[in-house]
Structure 1
Amino acid sequence: MEEKRRVLEMVKAGEIGVEEALALLEALGNGPKASSPARLLRVRVDGHDHGKPVKVHVNLPLALAELLEKLLPEETQLTLGRQGVSLKELLAVVGQGVPEGKLVEVEAEEEGKPVRILVEVV
């Protein structure tokens, strides 16, 4: 909205003509909208398994979100469960459509090592 106001102020000040203003306003109107539907389920897991660092970074189209359970290491699924996060319930909510943003963010410690899990819709 602020950009559109600036375009109108530029017209008022004589800095640009009406045609230029129309082109700018049209370009601003066709940009990405804040309410556009989310398309990806992004999962980031940073942890350790038997003392070795483990990184899992998955970007799944929402239409394939039910595959997430098969892609996550078992230890990650257990950590989510211990933190009170039900993967099945989370995927059911995602299937109903959710706005963009973080769904789950867990920072925990397993076997004395830090674990970070982030699930977000983008």
Structure 2
Amino acid sequence: MSFFVHTSFLFRVDVLYFDLYIFYSYPLFFMEEKFEQKRQVVLEHIQELFEEIEREMAMSHQEKFALLEDVLANATDEDELRLAFNQWHSDHSTDVEFGYDLEELWEHAMIRMEEYA
């Protein structure tokens, strides 16, 4: 009989320990889950912002390219072409950073012209 009482006592201690473990771990589990949710929400939010910035930037670049097409379409000779390009560049160079100055952009375009010939 004493063995049975001893086993029963151990069982009750185990159950009590399990109950305490669940009681104290329960908030931690949800805190970790909330933390993971918050981390995911932050990442998703920033990703959406980057995607919005990229869309706006792409639209802005398309608009600037369309303006360049219009300006260059009105040129009738090479001097007017260069003048129109210079004006477009001075109007939009602060918005679009090519990494090249005006002369380098023009020279690279002329090198491509030689490649086509």
Superposition TM-score, scaled by structure 1 size = 0.27
Which structure has the highest strand share of the two?
Answer: 1
How high is the TM-score relative to the length of structure 2? 0.28
- Relative to its length, the structure with more helix (as a share) is 2
> Greater relative contact order: 1 or 2 (C-alpha under 8 angstroms, separation 6 or more)?
1
